[in-house]
Amino acid sequence: MNLNAKFFGAAQIVLSAMMMNAQTSTAKLPGDPTLPSSKETLDKLISYDKGNFKYKVEDYFAKPNASQFKISPDGEYLSYKEKDADKKNHVYVKELKTGKITKAIVEKDDLIGSYGWLDKKRMFFTQDKGGNENTHLYAVDIDGKNLKDLTPFDGVTLNYANIIKDTEFVIVALNKNNKQIFEPYKINFNTGEMTQLYENKDVNNPIDGYIFDKKGNLRGYTVLENGLTTKTYYKDLDTGKFNLIKSTDWKNTFSIIGLNDNSKNKDEAYVATNLDSDKNRIVLYDLKKNAIIKEVYSNPVYDVSSLRTAQKNRNYELDYISYTGVKSEIVPVSKFYKEVHDRLKSEFKEKEFSIVSSDENEDKLLVVVGSDRLYGTYYEYNTKSKQIKLLYNLMPQLKEEDMAEMKPIEFKSRDGLTIRGYITMPKDAVNGKKVPLIVNPHGGPQGVRDEWGFNSEDQLFASRGYATLHVNFRISGGYGKEFKQSGYKQIGRKAMDDVEDGVKYVIEQGWIDKNKIAIYGGSHGGYATLMGLIKTPDLYACGVDYVGVSNIFTFFESFPEYWKPYKEMMKQIWYDLDNPEEAKIAKEASPIFQIDKIKKPLFVVQGANDPRVNINESDQIVKAMRAKGVDVPYMVKYDEGHGFRKESNSIELYKYMMGFFAENFNKK
């Protein structure tokens, strides 16, 4: 499931925490272990992917030999992940003066998630068990010693972590005391000592967000009342009382991005809001006076809610605004960043670039550069000399000139909405030949959208001569609240109409062989695959359902505990199953009840430890299809969750997928 990017401070870790305990013993394997196809059966699919291809599946999906470069706060060390012969990605630290390299973090059976610097001598990393998203936060010295599990609790979810600069503390949110709600804790990352900072007492009206200042003081919080109303409370610095400053329907936005530490007014904050507009915009807000000071930035077409501020060395000034339009857009603000942006823009032209790490003095910046044809390259930029130096090409085996272009498209839906998206076309299509198409609906679905940039799947498909279509159907994020809300209670219905209208549009352009169209997606995209095969059974040649919902009723029943406070929202986004009329619609929009309409071949893929879309969703559809005499290849990995993260599993999946597409596109 794709997630919206949301701005946090440079030292903040954003973690999606949808947890379910992993089960690894054979007797306790999740789901029905008799259902997955044998490896021999799945391996037969690979033989159909025939051709004289310049690139292999491994070229697109093998993890880079080195990645995630970061500069230490004092600028004396460079850290990075490096892959060994067993495909384990350990974290190394290189002392820049001497060139000495030390293995700081060892990856064993479970993948290292995010990692970074706590201070100049200590690092953090996150890790779960087999994709179950029960994430722990660890701290370790740069020489690999003094390893501590800072959140040593089984069955407890880490919701976020915020490093408090120039201290030895990190603030985390855990559902330690009640699985449905999260509470903040202050942890000493050297000793592991933990202190609870605030109680979240009302499970029916829980606090669902905390606002801390740069020193780690609680300055505000948001309460989700009755599952549908967001109430924002702010602390009066004179009285110490938390006062209600805003009450909004959950469909609207009033979100405190962060306090404006550049201002002498300690009550000033950057806020993203659409209370008086269709699109999210950024304003400066006086939280004590409960009033807008001024608008910082808005866009007439796209939501804007992200920004970056400097650190202490430049008194926390606003550096830039960013948002996703047709491409990623950056609006420079500070003098410092304008100079950086102008230099990088002159060097990298139309490619996208972003600063991913710097030392505290900002003498050295690490910049990642990419495009629709370039996976990503790291550069070091010296802000004193203005020199740019190549550091590392993440995917040198993929040559830009061989990659396909991702083109933005725009069309009208059958009921008049403007729908946007992208198509990636192989060279045959560019040269005028009609080619097979893979339709790839995104996950979410609410508030998520597809974006321009390098897409390994698209490039693999293009290397086999297939185009890929991405449609930002109604309910997608980034285009304003009216567009997003037009898709509420339309999942599987009008949202699917938009996908079909996108297919019709690209066929009309003369790009696509209408007899060779497949549909494939993950999470909601997997659900959309099933609904596509049901709703328009003659449109698609085949479909691949990857960790997709098959039954809206059992999907709701399997929510993790900490999703339950949001169930009323989910009723308004999907369907209210307690309402007989809507329950009837939900049944019609649940693939499991419509399998007789599926005429074309289906391939199902699932991570057994998936806490978001339970393995039961895939088991159900496979059982039902096989019961009606249809042989459905079914791939399950028992060391994965909501999507495959391990290199060997991903490569295996795409080899099977390419064989499955080739088999069905080439049927007479």
Provide the percentage of residues in the chain whose pLDDT is more than 70.
96
Please compute the mean of the pLDDT values over residues 426-455 and round it to a whole number.
Answer: 95
Please compute the mean of the pLDDT values over residues 188-217 and round it to a whole number.
Answer: 95
409 phi and psi angles, rounded to 5 deg = -130, 160
Please compute the mean of the pLDDT values over residues 265-287 and round it to a whole number.
Answer: 98
Q: Are strands 542-546 and 602-607 parallel, antiparallel or unpaired?
A: parallel
pLDDT tens profile 35-58:
999 999 999 999 999 999 999 999
Provide the 3-class DSSP secondary structure of residue 652: helix
Tokens matching residue 22: 């992993």
pLDDT of 15 reads 29
Cβ contact 357:69 at 8 Å: yes
pLDDT tens profile 299-329:
999 999 999 999 999 999 999 999 999 999 9
Q: Are strands 207-212 and 218-225 parallel, antiparallel or unpaired?
A: antiparallel
Cβ contact 82:103 at 8 Å: no
Please compute the mean of the pLDDT values over residues 131-156 and round it to a whole number.
Answer: 94
pLDDT tens profile 387-403:
999 999 999 999 999 99
Please state, in angstroms and as integers, the Cα–Cα distance from residue 294 to each residue in 234, 281, 284, following that order. Answer: 19, 11, 5
Provide the 3-class DSSP secondary structure of residue 457: helix
Q: Are strands 229-235 and 318-324 parallel, antiparallel or unpaired?
A: unpaired
Please state, in angstroms and as integers, the Cα–Cα distance from residue 463 to each residue in 459, 468, 603, following that order. Answer: 6, 11, 21
pLDDT tens profile 589-623:
999 999 999 999 999 999 999 999 999 999 999 99
Nearest to 136 by CA among 148, 146, 144, 145: 148
pLDDT of 434 reads 97
pLDDT of 27 reads 52
pLDDT of 3 reads 26
Question: Does pLDDT of 14 surpass 80?
Answer: no
Provide the 3-class DSSP secondary structure of residue 236: coil
Nearest to 424 by CA among 377, 382, 378, 456: 456
Q: Is the dihedral of CA 582, 587, 590, 596 positive or negative?
A: negative
Cβ contact 297:318 at 8 Å: no
Please compute the mean of the pLDDT values over residues 5-21 and round it to a whole number.
Answer: 28
Res. 24 pLDDT band, cuts 50 70 90: very low
Res. 153 pLDDT band, cuts 50 70 90: very high
Strands (E), 72-129: 77-83, 89-95, 101-105, 112-117, 122-127
Please state, in angstroms and as integers, the Cα–Cα distance from residue 452 to each residue in 351, 610, 656, following that order. Answer: 11, 28, 26
Res. 668 pLDDT band, cuts 50 70 90: low
pLDDT tens profile 454-494:
999 999 999 999 999 999 999 999 999 999 999 999 999 99
Strands (E), 226-267: 229-235, 242-249, 254-259
Amino acid at residue number 550: S
Cβ contact 502:562 at 8 Å: no
Task: Measure the CA–CA gap between 212 and 219, rounded to whole angstroms.
Answer: 5
**What letters, b where the CB count within 10 A reaches 16 and e where it falls short, cover 435-472?**
bbbbbbbbbbbbebbbbbbbbbbbbbbbbbbbbbbbbb
Residue 204 has a CB neighbour count (10 Å cut-off) of 11
Q: How far apart are the first and last CA of the chain?
A: 35
pLDDT of 613 reads 95
Provide the 3-class DSSP secondary structure of residue 634: strand
List beta partners, residue 125. 115, 138
pLDDT of 19 reads 27
Residue 172 has a CB neighbour count (10 Å cut-off) of 23
